[in-house]
A = this chain, B = another copy of it.
Amino acid sequence: MTAPLAEEAARLLERLRERGPRVHCLMNTVVRKLVADGLSALGAVPSMTDAPEEVEAFVGKADALCVNLGTLDAARRAGIDRAVARAGEARKPWLLDPAHCDYSPARTAYAAGLLARRPAVLRANAAEFALLAMPEDVVAVRTGETDRIALGAKAVAISNGHPLTARVTGTGCLSGALAAAFLALDAPPFAAAVAAMLALGVAAQEAATTARGPGSFEPALIDALFNLSPEDIRREARIDHDQSGL
């Protein structure tokens, strides 16, 4: 089962490069530039506003949505609510990243409400997952030293990547945005999530070969996403069945 997943990821990367899908991000204010650059390096076309009065027009232009709850405030919540409603009406796939929801009960509650509106994918870390009840029909991506991707009883573990990734602020947020870029191709959400984690993980391994620390790792990671080939994914993918559950 895992070799076909790597092959599917490689083909999705080819398709992404051909189509250049548009991804609208409701992104925290810390990492907007990194996420936009990462999407663009991979081959997608990012946009970023979350102003309530404009966000529906931007969602209308987009092929998928990435909703990230970092630096959440009333204005961003209003923008997110409208964007998710518009995505639902237009049947555009969206991903939820409940960034730092373990820091704030208000944010946990808001994340739970959004999860009930059925994103295609939820991306979170272990602490965030611990606070959220996963619907069976939402793909769960738990990033960490090993990335685990699950849909109901089906689960895989991806052990690509490099520890420096965690030292660069926003790489987790970027992983969610990359998954949204693959969702934008109308790929099955499980395959889209696998493709994104493989793309970022394989790129991180390449970046680490030249990096002298997290500062030089970041531009090297963007370069590696830009230069990443389907063949790199086929050759480097480390996917295993995962029975542990999330």
Question: A37-B169, A37-B214 are known contacts. Are A73 and B53 too (CB-CB below 8 A)?
Answer: yes
CB-based contact A33/B36 at 8 Å? no
Give complex CA distance A37, B37 in Å.
Answer: 16
Question: Copy number in this complex?
Answer: 3
Report chain B residues within 8 Å CB of A175. Answer: none
Max count, chain B CB within 10 A of own CB: residue among A46, A54, A72 = A54
CB-based contact A72/B48 at 8 Å? no
Question: A34-B33, A46-B169, A169-B40 are known contacts. Are A223 and B219 too (CB-CB below 8 A)?
Answer: no
Residues of chain A whose beta carbon lies under 8 Å from any beta carbon of chain B: 28-34, 36-37, 40-41, 46-54, 57-58, 61, 70-75, 100, 103-107, 167-170, 211-216, 218-227
Q: List 11 A-B contacts (CB under 8 A).
A: A28-B48, A36-B169, A41-B215, A54-B73, A167-B226, A212-B227, A215-B218, A215-B219, A215-B220, A215-B222, A215-B223
